[in-house]
Amino acid sequence: MGLIVALLSAVFASSKDTVSKKLAGSVDGTVSAFASFFFALPFYLVVLAVLYLLGVETFAVKDGFFFFIVLRALSDTCAEWLKMHALGEGDLSLITSFLALYPIILLFVSPLITSDPVSPMVVYSTALTVLGTLILLVKRPSNSPRLPVRGIFLALGAAIFFSINTSLDRMAAQTGSPVLSGFLMTTLAGIFLFPPMLRSRNWRGQIQSNTALFGLRGFFELAFMVSKLYALTVLSAPYVVAIQRISVLFSIISGRVLLNEGDFWRRLLAGCCIVSGVALILIWG
């Protein structure tokens, strides 16, 4: 069941990133990052209410829960801010491929935070997923668009914070329910981003004119976070993240089909390397 939910989280992650890229042309990165949290909250409240009425959600937490929630919200605030600004600089398929570097960082971060063991096969498979990203850096045809250097550095910064908050996700999910954890993390991250968002020009107009897309992305944010946190309750953080890298392939295809992005075959080759690493983990990890 953990495997199925982790795969579902990859689908929701790709869907969320596709909507974010569509918004990037008309919405400031800080406003988009705030909205990604704010518009998910109504969905969280509905799900929490339903689960409580069904007797599934008891709101019981263990020691350390709120400490991990605060740390995770801080790291996610930084990660989402960097990612939204990165998406404003480059194509969806390119930026998400560089975000895919964070599993290699997680191999070092996760044992320190969660004490989860990391098998040699997970290391080899993660290295293969990273190779897919490096393919994007080899010499490109002269007619290819220039690499968005600023966007790449922003994506790499986001990758570092995503590796940290994934480990903190596992700790939070083991001390409280996935839905409650996701709701509190999302609320705090939105609070942290609210003051800088107020400094963005015409932030009210940007939110009002894109309410429908923000709402759709809010649903994907809820679905992604809950499925990811559930998977982390039964699987180690590097394992879950490696499975989620299949979202890169989804983003490359959706970037071509929905957003008409170029350099498709190179990016598809990179995505296939990433998915191959996932397959190795599923078979021998």
Is residue 40 helix, strand or coil? coil
The domain ranges of the chain are: 2-284
Distance CA 285, CA 272 (A): 18
DSSP 8-state assignment for residue 236: -
CA 16 remoteness from chain centre: 8
Distance CA 174, CA 65 (A): 8
pLDDT (tens, 9 = 90+) of the chain, 285 residues, equals 777 888 888 888 888 888 888 898 889 999 999 999 999 999 999 999 999 999 988 888 888 889 889 998 999 899 889 988 888 887 766 777 677 667 667 767 767 676 666 677 767 776 776 676 666 555 455 555 566 788 888 888 888 888 888 778 777 777 888 889 889 999 999 999 999 999 998 899 999 999 999 999 999 999 988 888 888 787 777 677 767 767 767 777 777 777 676 667 777 777 777 667 666 665 565
**Residues 6+ away with beta carbon under 8 Å from 69:** 172, 176, 181, 184, 185, 188
